[in-house]
Structure 1
Amino acid sequence: MLHIGCHLSSTKGFAAMGRQALELGADTFQFFTRNPRGSRAKDLDTADAAVLADLLRERHFAPIIAHAPYTLNLCGAQESNRTFARDTMADDLRRLEYLPGQYYNFHPGSHVGQGVERGISYIAEGLNAILRENQTTTVLLETMAGKGSEVGGRFEELREILDRVVLADQMGVCLDTCHVSDGGYDIIHNLDGVLTEFDRVIGLHRLKAVHLNDSQNPTGARKDRHARIGEGCIGLEALGRVVRHPALRNLPFCLETPNELPGYAREIALMRAQAEA
């Protein structure tokens, strides 16, 4: 069975997101932990979180994905920026313990001219400062498109971060189809080869979730512009192979396509059909 969902707004609360996911035909979903372009988070409603936790268990959801704000940069040039990112992520992880056993996804960051090696070092330092042995949340590094000074556009960069994290068992990777394609990995014509490379460099056991997106740009463009399923350069046929691949099919897939809710419902149904094709 394909575990698939989409990105939902958290403004109406945890339980509302769970009910909305079910209405869309989803059995997982993603949400921002706080304003994606800011830092403030709503007060945590623990009772609401408990209702969602019960719903996830009763309806056999795959793990859901909490997404960190885009503004966080664990490898920023200014120490104050790195401290802000660490403090915000640590707070997010504390709050997520009210929804035990889920995923927390973040963009590794941009080294802003300091160099990839320095960026990787800062990211690992930040993770070592916030990860806790008793946490139930798995923290996911997202594969990036490699635009600008982004860290994480190559599998080797993610592996180097993981190698430097002390509590590496608390870590995993989220593969974004748009990002890896834009980053130069040919999932259109050589999905098996890309996954073999991922396994060689990182290990498929580290792959915990997939962001399922088409791309407005061809392979290797390094642009990071998502498109609706079947309307971009990756295409429906290639994305169908992604959801059917035996190494991926049991993972939670989350759509981040430019859609409103009816569009997400259509894409969820479309990809469920593709998974059975």
Structure 2
Amino acid sequence: MFKIGSHLSSSKGFLHMGKEALSIGANTFQFFTRNPRGSKAKEIDEKDVAAFREFAEENGIGVILAHAPYTLNACSKDEHTREFARMTMEDDLRRMEYLPGNYYNFHPGSHTGQGPEEGIRQISGLLNELLRPEQTTTVLLETMAGKGTEVGRSFEELRAILDGVELEGHVGVCLDTCHVYDAGYDIAGDLDRVLEEFDRVIGLDRLKAIHINDSKNPFASHKDRHEKIGEGSLGLQTFVNLINDPRVKELPFYLETPNDLEGYGREIQLLREQSR
């Protein structure tokens, strides 16, 4: 079954998000674990979690994706910033175990002048410090557009991070279509080659989720500005090709386009109509 959802606000709880997802034709969704600019997270409401788990099972809501705040930077040269990343991720992973078997996605971070090799070492080191053999949550590294000193701008950088993680079964990758296109991977012109390269460098078995976004910017611009599906430089046909590619079509897809709930519903309907 084609699994697609959008980014929803977690402010009213998991059951509310589940009902919102269903109302727009989604069968999965993504949410921020806390304010995307970083703050203390709401306390877990165990009754809400239990009600959502029952609702999700009854309505076929698949694996959901939690997104770490944008301010989490595991490889900053500033020790205070790295400590914030450690505390935030540790708390998020603890909370995710109330909803076993789901995904937690984060931006690898920016090395802020230390160099990508040191950034990679620090990211892998944080994951080794926090991951536990008994956890059920899979942590995903997001592909990045390559602006500034971002780490994760290439498949090779992501592979290097993964290679440094001891509990390799607990980590994977979330591919963002806008980001990889802006980074210089031509998924619009040659999707086959990009997926083949991903498989060669990282392995398609490590690809767990896809952020499905058009781009406001041209190819290889190394920027990060999402656009509605079919209205940017990627174009609708790129997404038709992607969601029907047998190598990835069973993965969950998550919209992060500049839209409201009604707009997400229209995009989900559009993509469902193109799904074979």
Structure 2 letter corresponding to 1:141:
L
1:32-69 deviations in Å (ceiling 9; x for gaps): 00010022111111111111122222222221000000
Aligned length: 276
State the partner residue of 1:47.
Answer: 47
| Structure 1 runs (4+) greater than 4 angstroms displaced | none
State the partner residue of 2:171.
Answer: 171
State the partner residue of 1:145.
Answer: 145
State the partner residue of 1:265.
Answer: 265
Partner SS, residue 66 of structure 2 = strand
Q: Could you list the runs of 5+ residues in structure 2 that have no partner in the other structure? A: none
Q: TM-score by structure 2 length?
A: 0.99
The range that moved more, 75-84 or 183-192, is: 75-84
What percent of counterpart residues are identical?
Answer: 62
Partner SS, residue 247 of structure 1 = coil
State the partner residue of 1:223.
Answer: 223
Corresponding position: 1:10 with 2:10: yes
1:123-172 deviations in Å (ceiling 9; x for gaps): 00111111010001000000000110000010000000000001111001
The range that moved more, 57-66 or 193-202, is: 57-66
RMSD between superposed Cα atoms in Å? 0.7
Q: TM-score by structure 1 length?
A: 0.98
Partner SS, residue 26 of structure 2 = coil
State the partner residue of 2:103.
Answer: 103
How far apart are the structure 2 equivalents of 1:82 and 1:57?
Answer: 37
How far apart are the structure 2 equivalents of 1:172 and 1:80?
Answer: 27
How far apart are the structure 2 equivalents of 1:241 and 1:46?
Answer: 41
How far apart are the structure 1 equivalents of 2:62 and 2:178?
Answer: 22
1:87-124 deviations in Å (ceiling 9; x for gaps): 11010011011111000000000001110000000000
Structure 2 letter corresponding to 1:188:
A
How far apart are the structure 2 equivalents of 1:272 and 1:253?
Answer: 11
Corresponding position: 1:112 with 2:130: no
State the partner residue of 1:184.
Answer: 184
1:229-255 deviations in Å (ceiling 9; x for gaps): 011000001111111110111000000
How far apart are the structure 2 equivalents of 1:243 and 1:219?
Answer: 20
How far apart are the structure 2 equivalents of 1:29 and 1:265?
Answer: 12
State the partner residue of 1:250.
Answer: 250
Q: Could you list the runs of 5+ residues in structure 1 that have no partner in the other structure? A: none
State the partner residue of 2:130.
Answer: 130
How far apart are the structure 2 equivalents of 1:55 and 1:79?
Answer: 42
State the partner residue of 1:36.
Answer: 36
State the partner residue of 1:93.
Answer: 93
1:83 CA displacement: 1.4
Structure 2 letter corresponding to 1:159:
R
Corresponding position: 1:203 with 2:203: yes
How far apart are the structure 2 equivalents of 1:130 and 1:235?
Answer: 39
State the partner residue of 1:73.
Answer: 73
How far apart are the structure 2 equivalents of 1:64 and 1:19?
Answer: 13
Structure 2 letter corresponding to 1:263:
G
